[in-house]
A and B are shown apart, each in its own frame.
Chain A
Amino acid sequence: MRRRDFIYLSGLGAGSAMIANSAFGKSIYQEQLLTTIDIRAKKELADVALNTAKAKGASYADIRIGRYLNQAIVTRETRVLNVANSESFGVGIRVLADGCWGFAAGNTVTKEGVAKIAERAVAVAKANAKLGSKPVQLAPQKGFGEVSWKTPIEKNAFEVPIKEKIDLLLTANGEAIKLGANFVNSTIFSINEQKYFASTDGSYIDQDIHRLYPNFQVTKIDRDLGAFETRAALSSPVGMGYEYLTPSESEKVQGVVTRYKNRYDMIEDIKNATKNATEKVAAKSVEPGKYDLVLDPSHLWLTIHESVAHPTELDRVLGYEANYAGTSFLSLEKLKSGNFHFGSKNMNIVADKLQAGSLGAVGYDDEGVKCGKWDLVKDGVLVNFQAIRDQAHMIGLDHSQGCCYAQSWDDVQFQRMPNVSLQPGKEKLSVDDMIKNVEKGIYIVGNGSFSIDQQRYNFQFGGQLFYEIKNGKIVGMLNDVAYQATNQEFWNSLTAVCDQSDYRLGGAFNDGKGQPSQSNAVSHGSSTARFNGVNVINTKRKIG
């Protein structure tokens, strides 16, 4: 779902909502979700496109034949608001002609149709080449021939009967209502990207990618006070099948509130959420000041995403995102120096396109590069960026790092972040032990509001749950908490990271970037981490 679809403006763009589920593409019948397109037919179409592009003057061409399946089940209290099965199927062709990129897309997936799209892509490239830009320089990429990759799922979410999913959501809503929730909605989003990529390098790559995102929001209203508070699910969007929704005691992280690893218990979480929302209405408003923050992975993933993963995107560093998402405080010079201290020595950040269960896991990226793993920050020092084929030479690489992605067949592929994660501490350290050593602190669970400037210096984050720590003990719940910091200062205040046993993934299901804006799904892992002396503000305001 694109960011612009998230901006809710009732009635604006009239007509768009008359086509049900328009944000996802066309709606389709359930049985169609389980069919696939014949791979031989895709190869034939790909060859037509690549040959047409070459005949029209392209020096390089790639084609993505995409079939994107989505299912959204949306409930509210006792009602099913929407069950949307949708499919988006079509072709995007990217070419290099006269040294310039051109792209065209359409949903006429016939030999004649793709030939016309290829011609349009070449025409776009040639029109833009007249502006006289520096020719694109592509890192070499060997062809892989015919290969395939699939998300290692145990249970295809599209094979699970809709009734079973509705039952789960309505049962969850029912538990919230029983415990006094005034409002509850719950959703399960399932995504299957069937992507076929072919290029003039000689690759024909077929991939079958699955993602799942269960979520809910519980609201407790105190009409007398004129106050309301909400708690969202502590689930994570995952690169897994429906098995994620099979509760398992061994995957639960017990503490002041239960959190989850590779399996999620929605019923248990919604019961806790309802209690938490009620507690939040009555919780003490935070006293602003400096606190030591203990950040749970369900919260920290978003801070990593905004303050580390985005600034290490090479396109931002170079200025390609300057008009929209911004640039970066990092630079080629800082990387080349080899001694740019991003954070304390506890900061070890790894990029990994293959991480099991992650949202960004794929075998090959959207320009036919085999994916891998590499260090971004080692012992606090910046050691690498994230690059694609036309950028690799700018940081002295002879190969792409496989960071190219397009949200759909009708979007051009460009540089997107891989899974970027904070590595756990090497010494044994539990969350309880970490909290025991904090005199004045706040333990934050779950992600809330988030905002960061266009060079990724100044940020502000909220959360779902805030617990006050005094002299090594959690003493109660706080409200109206947000922390503000500058990037390097914050990461230099990282004093401890719990060990591997606490490591968990969080993730962004719809990370927006680019123009036209596109979404990317990506995970970020960490163990619970401690940051000393961070500035906390109080966000309580009154209107009218």
Chain B
Amino acid sequence: MPIYSKEEAQALLKKVLSYSKADECEVSLRGNDGGNIRTALNAVSTAGDISTVGLAVSSVFGKKTGTATINEFDDASLEKVVRRSEELAQLAPENPETMPMLGPQKFEDSIQYNAKTAAMTPESRAEMIGKAFDVTKAANLQAAGFLENTTRFTAVMNSKGLFAYDKSTDVIYSVTTRNAAGTVSGYAARGFTDVSKLDTASATKIASQKALSSANAKAIEPGKYTVILEPVAGVYMLENMFRFDARSAEEGRSFLSKKGGGTRLGEKLMDEKVNIYSDPFNTELPGPTWSNEGQRLERTDWIKEGVVKNLSYSRYWAQKKGVQPVPGPSNIIMDGGTTSLEEMIKSTERGILVSRLWYIRMVDPQSLLLTGLTRDGTFYIENGKIMFPVKNFRFNESPVIMLNNVEALGKPERTISVESYRSYLIPPMKIRDFTFTSLSDAV
């Protein structure tokens, strides 16, 4: 039984806490249940079905903490794991950053769980993949894709009276469509809480259209271009920026550090169209309602009208700095605008439409300079029209510079990062002066 209900989890955690003799004790229980199918060349390559559940106990004596875990839940095992954590705490070095545990908090139930997603089976996954294959076979293309569903729960209780429970589901699907000769390629990615919103056939159709349109790509000179980043491209770029950590900024080793000391909190770093925030109750992208440190999560603005509005402060760092703690982002939502993708193209004199970015790595953490490449559908725009597909580019660009050069934003869409598989709500973006530094022959 990897997924416990709130009541089942509460009963078990209470029992574990009753064995504690430490100054403070925290018990966590979590489980995962899910499966996946991976495909290539219009066939299944691997598929799996995985379930796990585990319990962790942290005991604290003064500033000394010890943690032990177990996955056997009889009374003797539960008491044993508590004793173990206490022994470990006594052996541990003191950590001056240890904070007292929080007492009772009020958390609203999150809206991250969907029963239909939780009920997915190997058969239903195979059926969804079959629909994708129908599309690619009809288009004489080959699908390489990945479908994964996960149901998870986490519950925590401590000796100060805190209790929190969360249950969530996720399903993600991504597909790359190529021809047998390997001369064209297209991509689509989707992520949802509710599997009934996932249409593998329509996503695969978009990837197939991209692939078919990408034939005979021409080489054009690298340089500074206006780019239109579709959400799946934009999110991978921005994901590397979502570290609004006060401590590293105050220590002088972040892009949010200020020359001469201090942070850039309150400074206008980006275009005023840029609003980035977290909100656990966004229906398109629900998030957890409590943080790693047992704090209530609420809507938090990170960038508002281009100004750095909040930095995250851990409880330890907040106490040291004499400010209120601010939990880090629970999810990331970027406001959009009203410009459609078509309108963005129409208003572009000379630019590049980017479907996907790839292999983004940090070059310079001070300016947040990133490098990476375009992939799976890159198109040249001239005088408001897509003229032809172009060969891929390598870029060297900072997301901070990029968000200073925003020309237009579209309607936000839930999308997944192609590398971390995290979901975000991000608009398509039209950006001027995006720096491409070289060409790639890769398809």
Contact = CB atoms under 8 A, between A and B. Distances in A.
A and B physically associate: yes
B422 A7 contact: yes
A544 B269 contact: yes
Contact of B291 (A14, A414, A454): A14
A500 interface: no
B436 to A, nearest CB: 11
Most buried by B among A90, A166, A516: A516
Interface string B46-77: 11111110101010000000011111000000
How would you classify the secondary structure of chain A's contact residues: helix, strand, loop or mixed?
A: loop
Interface in A310-324: 318-324
Interface stretch (A172-180, A267-275, A427-435, A533-541): A533-541
A29 B368 contact: no
Contacts of B166: 14-15
B233 to A, nearest CB: 14
Given A28-B68, A537-B437, A131 B129 contact: yes
B290 interface: yes
Given A7-B422, A458-B440, A537-B396, A323 B367 contact: no
Contacts of B7: none
A539 B369 contact: yes
B103 interface: no
A166 B95 CA distance: 13
Given A10-B245, A15-B288, A482 B363 contact: yes
A225 interface: yes
Interface stretch (A48-56, A103-111, A335-343): A103-111
B67 to A, nearest CB: 4
Contacts of A255: none
Contact of B156 (A11, A18, A107): A18
A458 B438 contact: yes
Nearest to B397: A541
Contacts of B348: none
A74 to B, nearest CB: 11
B252 A131 contact: no
Interface in A214-257: 219, 221, 223-228, 230
Interface string A299-311: 0000000000000
B420 interface: yes
Given A107-B71, A458-B373, A543-B401, A100 B44 contact: yes
B142 to A, nearest CB: 7
Given A127-B123, A128-B122, A11 B328 contact: yes
A14 B442 contact: no
B59 to A, nearest CB: 11
Contact of B48 (A3, A83, A103, A225): A103
B259 interface: yes
Interface string A518-529: 000000000000
A397 B363 CA distance: 41
A142 interface: no
Interface residues of A, number: 99
Interface stretch (A196-204, A289-297, A445-453, A501-509): A445-453
B175 interface: yes
Contacts of B243: 8-10
Given A16-B154, A131-B129, A454 B359 contact: yes
A327 B245 contact: no
Contact of A105 (B38, B50, B398, B441): B50
B201 interface: no
Nearest to B70: A26
B87 to A, nearest CB: 7
Contacts of A456: 442
A189 B357 CA distance: 32
A323 B401 contact: no
B318 interface: no
Contacts of A123: 49, 122
Interface string B181-198: 010010100000000000
A12 interface: yes
B221 interface: no
Contact of B126 (A130, A134, A449, A455): A130
Contacts of B361: 449-451
A19 interface: yes
B126 A131 contact: yes
Interface string B18-34: 00000000101010000
Interface in B334-386: 358-369, 371-373, 375
B309 interface: no
Given A10-B312, A11-B297, A482-B371, A457 B442 contact: yes
B47 A323 contact: no
B201 to A, nearest CB: 14
Contacts of B69: 19, 26-28
Nearest to A130: B126
Interface string B418-430: 1111100000000
Contacts of B398: 541, 543
Nearest to A166: B93
A171 interface: no
Contacts of A454: 358-359, 373, 375, 442
B275 interface: no
Most buried by A among B164, B252, B332: B252
B174 interface: yes
Contacts of B88: 29
A9 B329 contact: yes
Contacts of B421: 4, 517
B292 A131 contact: no
Nearest to A9: B242
Given A127-B121, A131-B126, A451-B373, 13 more contacts: A4-B419, A14-B288, A19-B54, A26-B54, A105-B48, A127-B125, A223-B252, A223-B259, A223-B260, A225-B259, A322-B40, A324-B418, A449-B362
Closest 9 CB pairs of A and B: A10-B328, A226-B259, A11-B328, A15-B154, A133-B43, A14-B288, A455-B442, A458-B440, A26-B69
14 contacts: A12-B328, A19-B69, A102-B47, A105-B50, A223-B261, A318-B41, A323-B187, A451-B359, A451-B371, A452-B359, A454-B373, A460-B363, A543-B401, A544-B264
Interface of B: 26, 28, 30, 35-52, 54, 56, 58, 67-71, 84, 87-88, 92-93, 95-97, 121-123, 125-126, 129-130, 133, 142, 144-146, 148, 154, 156, 164, 166, 174-176, 178, 182, 185, 187, 239, 242-245, 251-253, 255, 257-261, 264, 267, 269, 287-292, 294, 297, 312, 327-332, 358-369, 371-373, 375, 392, 394, 396, 398, 400-401, 404, 417-422, 437-443
Interface of A: 3-4, 7-21, 26-29, 79-81, 83, 90, 100-107, 120-121, 123-125, 127-128, 130-131, 133-134, 166, 182-183, 219, 221, 223-228, 230, 318-324, 326-327, 329, 410-412, 414, 449-458, 460, 462, 480, 482, 484, 486, 514-517, 535, 537, 539-544
